[in-house]
Amino acid sequence: MRLLVLGGTVFLGRAVARLAQAAGHDVTCLARGESGGAIDGVRFVTGDRDRPDGLSAVDGETFDAVVDVTIRPSHARHAVAALAGRVGHYSFVSTCNVYPDDATPGQRADTAKLHDPAPPEVDNPRDGQMDMYGPCKVAAENAIRDGIGADRVFLCRAGLIVGPEDRSDRFPYWVARMRRGGEVLAPGSPDDLVSFVDVDDLAEWLLLAGTTGLAGAYDGAGLPMPRSRFLTELRDALAPDGTTLTWVDQEFLVEQDVRPWSGERALPLWLPLPEYAGFMTRDTARSVDAGLTARPIADTALRTADWMQAFPQDVKAGGLVADDEASVLREWHVRSV
């Protein structure tokens, strides 16, 4: 397969390029080259997708498949204008943020309501408009599907992507926390559901889609699992002997100004219920049937830990620092007596 990766220098795009090369595909990555390095042995060409002619480096070339991860609708429109008629299959990595309903569990990609697409004047949600992230992805989905043809476009609406080279503080927080050991603050209830997808599993699925011509909208997210399973398997893979989990209910965490999901004083992968009960509980059975696989949590955890140790400068600081966690746990034990 002759594959064009629009990006290919960081995280998911880089994993796609690496795995495609290892599988023997002919891979070209097109990017500015400012966010990361190309995979050794993969052809790299420079292009600035902010420009309408940003894909001119591959003018006249044909590709069996394209993988595109952009968040900007203008990038999608430029790509369609440049590549329509020269690509066999187009995979666009969208996001589960295209869905406005975060509260209803068990939603499906083929039936769930979408945000309205972003208006033309909104093109980059990183410019202080992250509430437009989902609408921008919807606009990009529409441009690609309309320009390439629905029967040749795979819309992969990714959930939380984790694994090596994850420069967020979400999954890496828990890897670092388990490696430190001791008493670990576990947020919410053991039965609360969480969901994520390993970056290499998602990359393999994108390659499968390109080789088989998979089309339509699917959620690129793992099957939901109880938080107790997630944390227990992480502990078993990473933690020193004697590490324990102490479950602290969400009302107390809110009272103690512990924040959800990501950032300073946060407990990553924890979201308030019931308003976010649907965020990590999507029905992904269709995706599994279409070839998305999930490796053991321990595999993802150990590979992530190895990357964090090898590249500490790339690991984002965030989450509940040790002193704050200990303070919250002390207060919880006092209240529980």
CATH number at residue 125: 3.40.50.720
Q: Tell me the residue range of the domain where 236 lies.
A: 171-194+224-280+297-336
- pTM over cut 0.85: yes
Is residue 258 a part of any domain in this protein? yes
60 and 151 belong to one structural domain: yes
Residues 212-225: tens digit of each pLDDT: 999 999 999 999 99
Q: In terms of DSSP H, where are the helices of 196-255?
A: 199-212, 227-238, 250-255
144 and 270 belong to one structural domain: no
Residue positions counted in the chain: 337
Instruction: Using the predicted structure, report yes or no on whether residue 102 has a pLDDT greater than 80.
Output: yes
Rounded to 5 degrees, φ, ψ at 119 are -65, 160
pLDDT at res. 336: 79
Q: Look at the chain and report how many structural domains it folds into.
A: 2
Is residue 211 a part of any domain in this protein? no
Is residue 45 a part of any domain in this protein? yes
Instruction: Using the predicted structure, report yes or no on whether residue 85 has a pLDDT greater than 90.
Output: yes
Q: E strands along the chain, which residues?
A: 2-6, 26-31, 43-46, 63-68, 87-95, 153-158, 161-162, 183-187, 193-194, 197-198, 216-220, 225-226, 244-248, 259-261, 266-268
87 and 188 belong to one structural domain: no
149, two tokens: 């043809």
133 and 36 belong to one structural domain: yes
Question: Average pLDDT, stretch 60-80?
Answer: 97
Question: Average pLDDT, stretch 112-125?
Answer: 95
Is residue 206 a part of any domain in this protein? no
Question: Average pLDDT, stretch 41-68?
Answer: 95
pLDDT at res. 71: 94
> Which among 161, 164, 170 has a CA at the least distance from the CA of 18?
164
CA distance 303 to 219: 24
What percentage of the chain exceeds 90 in pLDDT? 93
CA-derived radius of gyration, the chain: 21
Instruction: Using the predicted structure, report yes or no on whether residue 302 has a pLDDT greater than 90.
Output: yes
| Coil, strand or helix at 337 | coil
Rounded to 5 degrees, φ, ψ at 145 are -65, -40
181 and 53 belong to one structural domain: no
Would you place residue 335 in the very low, low, confident or very high pLDDT band (cuts 50, 70, 90)? Answer: confident
Q: How far apart are the first and last CA of the chain?
A: 63
24 and 148 belong to one structural domain: yes
190 and 275 belong to one structural domain: yes
179 and 307 belong to one structural domain: yes
Is residue 37 a part of any domain in this protein? yes
pLDDT at res. 18: 96
Would you place residue 100 in the very low, low, confident or very high pLDDT band (cuts 50, 70, 90)? Answer: very high
Rounded to 5 degrees, φ, ψ at 293 are -110, 165
98 and 235 belong to one structural domain: no
272 C-beta neighbours (distance < 10 Å), count: 15
